[in-house]
Structure 1
Amino acid sequence: MWNTFKDFVKGLSNSRIAIVVIVYLLFFAILGNRLFTLQIVDGEKYASEAEKSTRKTRTIKATRGNIYDCNHNLLAYNKLSHNITYEETDVTAKMTSEERNDMIYKLICVIESNGGTLSVDSYMKLNSDGEPEFTVSGNTLLRYKAEVYSKTVTELKKKENKKLLNATAKDIYKFLRYDTSVNSPKFDISDKYDDKMAMKILDIRYAIFINRYQKYLPITIAKNVNDKTVAAIKENNDELIGVNITEDTKRVYNKSKYFAHILGYTGAISSEKLDTINKKNKKTDYTIDDQVGISGLESVYEDQLKGKKGKEVLSINSSTSRVVSVDETKNPVAGDDLYLTIDAKLQEECYNLLEENLAGVLISRINNSSSAGSKGTNSTDIKIPIYDVYEALYKNNIIDVTHFKSRKASPLEKSTYDKYKNKSKKIVADMKKHLATDYTKGSKDLSDDMNDFLDYFYKQLKDDNIVLVNQVDTSDSVYKKFAKGKTSLSRFLQYAISKQWIDQEKLDIKSGYYTSEEIYKKLLDYGFKKLKDDTGFAKLIYGYLVQHYELSGTDTCLLLMDQKAVKKSKTDYTNLQSGALSPYSYIIKQIKKLEITPGDLGLEPCSGSIVVTDVKTGDVKAMVTYPSYDNNKMANKVDSEYYNKKLIQNSSSPLLNRPTMQEMAPGSTFKIISAVTGMEEGVISPSTHIYDHTVFSDIDHPAKCWSTVSHGDLTVSDAIEVSCNYFFYKVGYMLSGKTSSGNINYPRGIKRLKKYADKFGLTDKSGVEIPEIAPHFATTDAVRAAIGQDTHAYTPAQLSRYVTTVANSGNCYNITLVDKIKNVKGKTVLNNKAKLRNKINIKQSSWDAVHKGMKLVVNGSRSSISFMFKNLKTTVAGKTGTAQQSKFHANHAYFISYAPYKKPKISVTCVIPNGYASSNAAQTARDVYKYYFGKKGSKAGKKVSGSVKMPESSTSHID
């Protein structure tokens, strides 16, 4: 046996494989030792590091909660949608820039050919000259530049990086598109793509580039794509590597215009907002891809509506940052549902009634001539020239002037554009004469038209921060002469250059010496280049053509039909062309049919508010602002054309939430406060008689009653009925008293009025959950403050809380829009009620006098509006109000009210800015009561929408 083993060893030593065997034995010995060290000795250490470097968490979006009205009608919900996403794969990682760009080009073509748009952030765009320009500014632009050049913001601000910090959009565009140096992203986008397409490819490449350290997170290329796009992506799946279709939801709003300002809308979270959120709460799970509430209740109740995200724990390849496997999943929890106090049907009806009444007032004031009535002299009989209506059609984009130069433009559109071009050349030539270096005449010596054009030129310079408004010394003598129209814009701009009030860097002035004349020439070149393709300036010229009868009313009406801004009628078209139908009659007909609405035109009146409350609970049943907008076009992704043309460029300001964000003097609606203050402070009683002498002369600057004929001897209830200014001047005077030196003690009067105004909620916000501006109480003249003048300013919501408090005789609520919140399982997590702000304890006789007076306002023998309310099935009490703005604008109209008189259920507050007379607001409120108290079966209360309400004649007054 031993001899056999010796013979084997001897044979092995003589064999050629001996060395190989020994080497293998040594190799396995070393490998075994190494494995022992890694797995046993250092196992825990390496396992921990491996887990840290390869495990990542990816969030799963939660479904947003719904929003309902008080009757469980759905107002806001989520609809299934599809997004196109991109995620790096092993194949795409090996692609050359050319291959990647070609694939992205194909993807863009698929998306856009099927009606979709890209959703990636775009930090640059091509301007009208085809040159790149930034679409962002401030810190966002700073971060963008830092990321482009692979620097931190701190590094970018260092001296050695000044060139990068000051890089223009053109510099960055060229760097990203063409540069292939070591530190560039190397997009290398070929010249076979034009600049427009190259910019789109660049945007997607940049999105991929900034995601390079988080490749496990997919990039959203396009949101809410249609079925055709989904099918096309799937058909081209082999070519579009890394491109996927993912399910998502989009926010949808039912009957959006009625609730837009209350609900608000959702949108993509901005990088600035994300930074702010992350700084406030480090545990936040928001990402740049999230949708958040941007305005209204969507924003206020973001935390409740958003839900809780789920998560996926991923194993990531540490070298490629791509997903290897999904190791753990936690499902998301849907957001809570919000139930409002709003009655959707009432809200809708109030909106329609307000629009119809506004249209009626508008029609009654449109004058078939160029006369503006008493405008500029007084506000009592202002008219709207029909030419202002024609001009408004262009100004507010009802007629789209940009379409005139389209290939699809009608012959009339093309001929109208030719008129514009010819007139534009002449006007610009005239402007250049007025801006010549030696021109000295100020605005006082120029025509109104030329002043309009020069003002627009100057406004452009200010808006673009060429003229540094904050640095202009308004006490400077040259500036004062310019402001007073005594010296020319030319002289002022040249002077501004000498005073360094002009930002010369923006005028493309390089280093070197430039004379003032050379700088001024560059300033003019900049300004006129801006005007060349400026739509606002174009509209100004179209307005000029209209007002100078060079663009006829007939052509304007035909253009409306050509552009399908109104329903085209062949009969009307033919009759307009032949002269059988006048353009004035045609326009009036379109306003009556609400084919053209007051909100479209933006003329006065074009807006209004209605707030309806349950006076027993403080619940808001309707909160209407007119005009409104479609928040579906703002949610998810903003429709930029709609936003710019229909909202921003509309003079009626559709985005303004008037019930909470528009404050004006309350006019005579404030007299209820003065009456209560006078009675409670003991300067008058319910039975006190004051004779109206029409002119209150006990003060230095006598104040007049609205009527030139005396109202006679009045009690407080009588004074409320006829809204006698003299009576309440006297109350304000008596509340003030005299100082020890014999002067009127106005501060005392203001203090006493404010004390009771506070009890009725007029010194702070109304309590509604959406943003609201704070009220302003009068500060100086207690006599005029007693009739709602001086510096009083309240929102319609604040007036609504005030009249709600009057209606229920003393319970001042923080009025509310929210009824309750339920979670996804249907459990109520918040049962909301309007909080009682305070209880007013005043004498019953004071309440009785006020209520009696408000009943007389609507039903009394001397009431100017009683005929409007005769056929109602309920008795209404209220107070009219009219506030003057200026002799160039119609008066504001108010009506605050409640019903039924004996056992009040609701209050209705109606405010119509520039509504001419309080009777117009009262008529609108009347129609609301008619609907509300008739909707349970009474024929008188059937829905009346669809026909314009012409204002009923009344002896309305300025009260």
Structure 2
Amino acid sequence: MMKRLKKLFKKLTLQRTTVLIIVFLILSGILVQRIFSLQIIHGQEYADNFTIQTTRTRTLKSTRGNIRDRNGNILASNQLSYSVTLEDNGDYDSTRKKNLSLNGEIYKIIQIIENHGDSINHDFHVVLDEGNNYIYDAEGFTLSRFKADVYGKSSIDDMTSKEANASAETLIHDLMLRFGLELEKDEKPYSEKELREAGLPTELTKEETLKIITVRYALFTVSFRKYVPVTIATDVCEETVADILENQKNLQGVDIAEDSIRVYTESEYFAPLLGYTGKISSEELAELRTENPDGEYSTTSIVGKSGLEKVMESTLQGKDGSEKVYVDSMGKVLEIDEKHTKEPTQGNDVYLTIDRDLQIACYKILEQKIAGIVAANIQNIKSFEVDDNTDASTIPIPIYDVYFALVNNSVLDINHFGAEDASATEQKVQQVFERKQQEVFQQISEELTGKDPAAYKDLNKEMQGYMSYIVNELLMEKTGILSKTAIDKNDDVYKQWTTEESISLQEYLTYAASQNWIDISQISDKNTYLDASEVYQDLADFIATYLTTDTQFSKMLYEYMLLDDEISGKDLCIILYDQGVLSKEDGMYESFLEGDITTVDFMKQKIQNLEITPAQLALDPCSGSIVIVDPNSGETLACVSYPGYDNNRLANNMDTAYYQKLNSDLSSPFYNKATQERTAPGSTFKPITAVAGLMEGVIDDHTSFNCNGHFTRLPGGELDCWELSGHGSLTIRDGIKNSCNVFFSETTYRLGENSDGSFNSDTALQKLVNYAKMFNMDKKSGLEIPEAAPQVTDEFPIPSSIGQGTNNYTTSQLARYVATIANSGTSYNISLLDKTTDSEGNLLEDFTPEVLSTLDIPQWIWDDVHAGMEGVIKTPGNQMVFGDLQVSLAGKTGTAQQTKSRANHGLFVGYAPADSPQIALAVRIANGYSSTNAEWVVKDVLNYYFDLKDESEIITGQANQVGVTNQENN
């Protein structure tokens, strides 16, 4: 029985195994058939249809709101454009292959972009200077935050000392190692084959290296988020778009995106107000997320970087949308899921109180007058020495200063003098420069390393200039190698260098090295101990190397080349044509070359025609400001800062070369002259002194003082009236009218006079300060853009009473002050903002300037002040300016001295019509010699505003020399 059961079991097992084998054979056959069908029969079809493998949600960028003037004219808007984006979505076998592949691809993309005249975005704080050196374009917190981001630190405090103090050269070297543009010493160098296959040259220039690093760094900043592209070029042309799309299959992760760019109309006139936009920084991102928790800011957001663009960021910024898309393995979009699309919302519009046409007219009027002052003061002399006895009104502009300004303020590109395509004149000048450079370097070398260096006082003026530059500019300011904090200013050797000038530069720096005043880490990479002599030798080598590429030092050489007539002003003027600064079709080119017009007359004519502007020359004067306010509402109608700049070149894809030029421009276009430049108010302050005297009862409207030209009760000295022959007997109205220093000095003396007739300076000062504060002169004007804090005087009450002392105010603060006088006591926080609306024009918020305070001053005192200011306009000197003006005006002139070595500032504050003011205004021409020159600006502004003359008579496009004077007019 058991044997039968075993046989049956074996038979069943064999049958099951057979069935299992058969089943496996059938399944295998099916599998082979399926694979054959997939790969052979339908392989191409499936390959073509393959790629729907990744679903992404991508951002739909919103557009910013527009900025408009009070009449609805567009000042800032958006324009549709195309951008090149890149996403690091490739797969790599190793870091080496990733770096080669990415760097090669970026290099190819950059070539495509630049071949069509476009450029990559430069959202990176390292740039190349004129000497082809890596430098930072930021400082302070911004620079520290940038370094922390580069080194991957969440906080500035987390950086090591080495990271925090890294030079631009060091930081770039570190990134070259990180991104595989340079390899560690123990790594195998890239072979020619590897570089060729990656599409990279065997050697990259510093400019090419910086561009690749800029893109790699942009990718690095979003590396923590998958499938996030970065924009590497903005507003590219159609040719670039076509070329990128044509090569897209060979360029992993590259794409073209529809975008919008910020466009500023009439940019030069409004840039100091509007500012510009740019890619958000890490500190801005953190700040905006804190301020706007509901905002949708990301690392790729475009935000306001300065001006009203920054101030009104949350209003102007739109809300991004999103869409769900399907992409292939190369990142190419195959399909958009319309059901999951959220449309973006445009930002809100901002309306300003500014009148566009008035703003532009004021700017042009100001430029014309400043150019007229410059042209009128040019003299055919090489130089002018200023001493303690020099009258500021007599300081001329030597023509050689004008020639040098073409070099000094980079109107001419001196680096192009040595370029392959340099003109014959450029080459001639370059040869002279190289010879001069060699001679000077030899002399400096002898002073640094020779056996018998000369004491500073025994050097000629030129060599003294070079020695001072090396110590003060190169070693202390630019590099910090000679540490300001380490120097012992009580040291005898330090005094011998700085005060006695009895030792040589070699002696001073050798001693500095022995005293550890030299930061050796910046000039030597040696790890061993160096004694003082070795430190000094490294320092001397560093100085010699640095100076060869130091553009600022090269400009010093050009100055002496001009003064020594080694090159001529005519050479530089010809180069103006060669470099395209001037047009050869100007009708003067041929006659100038042939000598029919002198170089002096040529330059004057170009300034007269505004073909060369005061801003380009950056000589005194080269800047000015105008602020116009409606005294009945506090609205600001114009806020002009000259010179301006083209903020279109800073928004979107920043033109870094242009930014660097603006940043180093000696006319300081980034410095808002209306809101940030402070000077003494001069005699424009006297109405406050008048109010103080009347309110305190030390004078009344019948009090009279006799002015004989001198105030002799000044403690410690004598104060002269500007009219040295004296004004005679004056009441308060006459005192204001004639701007009598003696009258206001006597008034201030009485403010501090004790019962026994003695003078208490502190009492007088405190009373004067109290009334300045009553006029809110201790507060900012209220304008929404950055403004310097005012400084109410804190010493010298009598000089302070006539606008000197330590009084310092911006033009905007003076405008608010005179508006308060115009309306008899209502002091506004003046404003630039009118209203905001949504994109459809629906009102969201209406801004009304805040009344800061109402001055409790009797009307009879206001009547005295108003009458005095109306009288100012009727004086014989001022009637030469305003005699034919067809609108009544009240005002106060002011001439403020800042230093005896430069021309005085010219100021004017006033309002019109005098009996029913519609506008109040303040004008300042820094170093404009006389307030009379500011008065001529006011006259043109009033003629324009009240439509008293045809615009073509006022704005001529020519320098305005009418009435230009250097004579003081208080």
State the TM-score, normalized to the length of structure 1. 0.88
Match of 1:384 in 2: 397
**Equivalent of 1:534, from 522, 528, 550?**
550
Match of 2:233 in 1: 222
2:849 corresponds to 1:845: no
**Residues 891 and 917 of structure 1 are in contact (CA less than 8 Å); yes or no, is this contact kept in structure 2?**
yes
Q: How does 1:337-348 map to 2 (within 5 A)?
A: 337-348=349-360
**Residues 710 and 719 of structure 2 are in contact (CA less than 8 Å); yes or no, is this contact kept in structure 1?**
yes
2:757 corresponds to 1:753: no
Q: CA deviation at 1:130?
A: 8.8
Deviates more, 1:92-101 or 1:695-704: 92-101
Aligned mates of 2:870, 2:382 — CA distance in 1: 42
Match of 1:141 in 2: 147
Match of 1:194 in 2: 203
Give, as a single letter, the amino acid of the residue that structure 2 aligns with 1:71: N
Match of 2:40 in 1: none
Change (3 A) 1:101 1:387: closer
**Residues 605 and 914 of structure 1 are in contact (CA less than 8 Å); yes or no, is this contact kept in structure 2?**
yes
Match of 1:77 in 2: 77
Q: How does 1:849-888 map to 2 (within 5 A)?
A: 849-860=864-875, 863-888=876-901
Aligned mates of 1:69, 1:632 — CA distance in 2: 18
Match of 1:610 in 2: 626
2:815 corresponds to 1:803: no
Match of 1:765 in 2: 780
Q: CA deviation at 1:181?
A: 12
**Equivalent of 1:410, from 402, 409, 423?**
423
Change (3 A) 1:380 1:241: closer
Aligned mates of 2:126, 2:586 — CA distance in 1: 45
Match of 1:332 in 2: 344
Match of 1:66 in 2: 66
Aligned mates of 1:610, 1:129 — CA distance in 2: 38
Q: CA deviation at 1:66?
A: 0.4
Aligned mates of 1:178, 1:716 — CA distance in 2: 77
Change (3 A) 1:914 1:311: same
Q: List runs of 5+ in structure 1 lacking aligned partners.
A: 1-6, 25-53
Q: CA deviation at 1:322?
A: 12
Give, as a single letter, the amino acid of the residue that structure 1 aligns with 2:380: N
Change (3 A) 1:595 1:121: closer
Change (3 A) 1:362 1:207: closer
CA-to-aligned-CA distance 1:865-894 (integer Å, 9 cap, x gap) = 112112222011110001112221111111
Q: How does 1:120-519 map to 2 (within 5 A)?
A: 138-146=144-152, 169-170=172-173, 172-174=175-177, 176-177=180-181, 192-196=201-205, 197=208, 200-201=211-212, 203-205=214-216, 207-208=218-219, 211-278=222-289, 284-312=295-323, 328-370=340-382, 372=384, 377-436=390-449, 441-458=454-471, 459-462=473-476, 463-484=478-499, 485-519=501-535
Change (3 A) 1:444 1:239: same
Q: CA deviation at 1:287?
A: 2.0
Match of 2:121 in 1: 119
Match of 1:821 in 2: 836
CA-to-aligned-CA distance 1:570-591 (integer Å, 9 cap, x gap) = 8634433443210001001101
Q: CA deviation at 1:472?
A: 2.3
Q: How does 1:393-792 map to 2 (within 5 A)?
A: 393-436=406-449, 441-458=454-471, 459-462=473-476, 463-484=478-499, 485-569=501-585, 572-645=588-661, 647-698=662-713, 699-738=715-754, 743-792=758-807
**Residues 612 and 907 of structure 1 are in contact (CA less than 8 Å); yes or no, is this contact kept in structure 2?**
yes
Aligned mates of 2:647, 2:719 — CA distance in 1: 47
SS at match of 2:924: strand
Q: CA deviation at 1:99?
A: 5.3
Aligned mates of 2:450, 2:533 — CA distance in 1: 8
Q: CA deviation at 1:549?
A: 1.7
Change (3 A) 1:183 1:814: farther
Match of 1:14 in 2: 15
Aligned mates of 2:833, 2:745 — CA distance in 1: 40
Deviates more, 1:656-665 or 1:129-138: 129-138
Q: CA deviation at 1:469?
A: 1.8
Q: List runs of 5+ in structure 2 lacking aligned partners.
A: 1-7, 26-53
Deviates more, 1:389-398 or 1:562-571: 562-571
SS at match of 2:249: coil
CA-to-aligned-CA distance 1:287-316 (integer Å, 9 cap, x gap) = 222211111100111111112222346899
**Residues 125 and 146 of structure 2 are in contact (CA less than 8 Å); yes or no, is this contact kept in structure 1?**
no
Give, as a single letter, the amino acid of the residue that structure 2 aligns with 1:311: S
Q: Pairwise CA RMSD of aligned residues?
A: 3.7
**Residues 745 and 801 of structure 2 are in contact (CA less than 8 Å); yes or no, is this contact kept in structure 1?**
yes
Number of residue equivalences: 913
Give, as a single letter, the amino acid of the residue that structure 1 aligns with 2:341: T
Match of 2:29 in 1: none
SS at match of 2:887: coil
**Residues 134 and 169 of structure 1 are in contact (CA less than 8 Å); yes or no, is this contact kept in structure 2?**
no
**Residues 933 and 941 of structure 1 are in contact (CA less than 8 Å); yes or no, is this contact kept in structure 2?**
no
Q: CA deviation at 1:406?
A: 1.2
Q: CA deviation at 1:477?
A: 3.1
Q: CA deviation at 1:929?
A: 0.5
CA-to-aligned-CA distance 1:220-275 (integer Å, 9 cap, x gap) = 23222111100111222332343210011111110101001010111111234334
Change (3 A) 1:203 1:704: closer
Change (3 A) 1:838 1:138: closer
CA-to-aligned-CA distance 1:425-479 (integer Å, 9 cap, x gap) = 1112222233347666554443332222222222112211211223323333332
**Residues 393 and 601 of structure 1 are in contact (CA less than 8 Å); yes or no, is this contact kept in structure 2?**
yes
Change (3 A) 1:439 1:652: farther
Change (3 A) 1:552 1:908: same
Deviates more, 1:630-639 or 1:13-22: 13-22
Aligned mates of 1:16, 1:116 — CA distance in 2: 74
Deviates more, 1:594-603 or 1:225-234: 225-234
**Residues 440 and 488 of structure 1 are in contact (CA less than 8 Å); yes or no, is this contact kept in structure 2?**
yes
Change (3 A) 1:873 1:146: closer
Q: CA deviation at 1:526?
A: 1.0
Change (3 A) 1:253 1:381: same
Change (3 A) 1:858 1:89: same
Aligned mates of 2:800, 2:155 — CA distance in 1: 58
Q: CA deviation at 1:373?
A: 7.8
Give, as a single letter, the amino acid of the residue that structure 1 aligns with 2:237: N
Q: CA deviation at 1:924?
A: 0.6
**Residues 624 and 641 of structure 2 are in contact (CA less than 8 Å); yes or no, is this contact kept in structure 1?**
yes
**Residues 673 and 757 of structure 1 are in contact (CA less than 8 Å); yes or no, is this contact kept in structure 2?**
yes
Aligned mates of 2:13, 2:412 — CA distance in 1: 102
**Equivalent of 2:827, from 812, 827, 830?**
812
Give, as a single letter, the amino acid of the residue that structure 2 aligns with 1:231: A
SS at match of 1:469: coil
Aligned mates of 1:272, 1:421 — CA distance in 2: 45
Q: Percent identity?
A: 36
Q: CA deviation at 1:21?
A: 9.9
Match of 2:48 in 1: none
Change (3 A) 1:905 1:122: closer
Aligned mates of 2:828, 2:845 — CA distance in 1: 19
Aligned mates of 2:169, 2:421 — CA distance in 1: 42
Q: CA deviation at 1:955?
A: 9.2
Aligned mates of 2:170, 2:555 — CA distance in 1: 35
Q: CA deviation at 1:170?
A: 3.8
**Residues 759 and 812 of structure 1 are in contact (CA less than 8 Å); yes or no, is this contact kept in structure 2?**
no
Q: CA deviation at 1:700?
A: 2.5
